Amino acid sequence: MSGAKGAAAPATDLLPLFVWLSPAYPVGAFAYSHALEWAVETGAVGNVHGLIGWVDDLLHHGGPFTDSVLLAHAHRATASGDDTALRDLLELAAAFAPSRERQMETLNQGDAFIAATRLAWPAPVLDRLADIWSGRVAYPAAVGMAAAAHGLPLPATLSAYLGAVAANLISAAVRLVPLGQSDGNRAMAAVTPIVREVAVTAASETLERLGGSALASDIASMRHETQYTRLFRS
């Protein structure tokens, strides 16, 4: 029977998020550890429990949290067509890094994300980005822009982004500590509720309150710049 009343509305197709935030998307996320390599070197993270605590702190108080707030504001500015707000957000996101390596991490991935997405997933706002902002694009802002441009909802985008960040950190720890795949899987299961919680918080945070207090991670990113042996770029 066609045209039945009360039929459920079609669910939003979230497949682009799975593609963009998968390890296969060409942004080079596998090359960065967000200073986790230094934390492992010094013994701050040496087992699955230490890893879970480290990722928990980052999601609540560190770079991943501030990045998720920047993503949310980039998404809203793009969705509303407010080019002035978007330009201001892109400028802030490009500057909001506590160390050289952190800035390299976010800008290199952001530029790669924009280039890959413009080619395979084109959208008008991405094509005219040079008219809005002449600088480089931070990774979370790039994801927020693309998601809004393709009509992907902010809550799902935030959850997918934070989940991908956590997965990349845990994958790095599996190689660095090293941990087994079972411990890596346990760590991912443990931080998944945190991802859900932080995604909700970040969606309503204002830019005036933007900031973090994961100082051990920030200092680790500076120490990693001169670490003697390194597998990761950050």
Instruction: Say if residues 51 and 174 touch (Cβ distance below 8 Å).
Output: no
Residue 41 has pLDDT above 90, yes or no: yes
3-state secondary structure of 33: coil
pLDDT band at 77 (very low <50, low <70, confident <90, very high): very high
Residue 8 has pLDDT above 50, yes or no: no
Q: How many domains does the chain have?
A: 1
Q: In this structure, which amino acid lies at residue 77?
A: A
CATH code where residue 140 lies: 1.10.4190.10
Residue 190 lies in a domain: yes
Q: Which of 30, 54, 31 is nearest to 42 (CA)?
A: 54
Domain membership of residue 203 as a residue range = 29-224
For the segment 156-196, what is each residue's pLDDT rounded down to a tens digit?
Answer: 999 999 999 999 999 999 999 999 999 999 999 999 999 99
**C-alpha 66: how far from its chain's center?**
9
Q: Helix 154-176 to helix 48-61 angle, to the nearest 10 degrees?
A: 150
Residue 184: what pLDDT?
Answer: 97
Lowest mean pLDDT among 1-10, 128-137, 139-148, 165-174: 1-10
Residue 11: what pLDDT?
Answer: 67
Query: d(Cα 147, Cα 214) in Å, to the nearest integer?
Result: 28
Residue 11 lies in a domain: no
Residue 53: what pLDDT?
Answer: 97
Distances in whole angstroms, Cα of residue 106 to Cα of each of 15, 30, 185, 217? 23, 13, 26, 15
Q: Helix 83-95 to helix 100-120 angle, to the nearest 10 degrees?
A: 140
Residue 160 lies in a domain: yes
Q: Provide the 10 A C-beta neighbour count for residue 128.
A: 10
Residue 3: what pLDDT?
Answer: 43
Residue 7 lies in a domain: no
pLDDT band at 211 (very low <50, low <70, confident <90, very high): confident
For 77-112, the DSSP string reads: HHHHT-HHHHHHHHHHHHH--SSHHHHHHHHHHHHH
Residue 42 lies in a domain: yes
Residue 5 lies in a domain: no
Q: What is the mean pLDDT of the chain?
A: 94
Residue 59 has pLDDT above 90, yes or no: yes
Residue 1 lies in a domain: no
pLDDT band at 1 (very low <50, low <70, confident <90, very high): very low
Residue 123: what pLDDT?
Answer: 96
Residue 209: what pLDDT?
Answer: 86
Tokens of 54: 């480290």
Residue 12 lies in a domain: no
Query: d(Cα 201, Cα 167) in Å, to the nearest integer?
Result: 20
Residue 21 has pLDDT above 80, yes or no: yes
Instruction: Say if residues 231 and 38 touch (Cβ distance below 8 Å).
Output: no
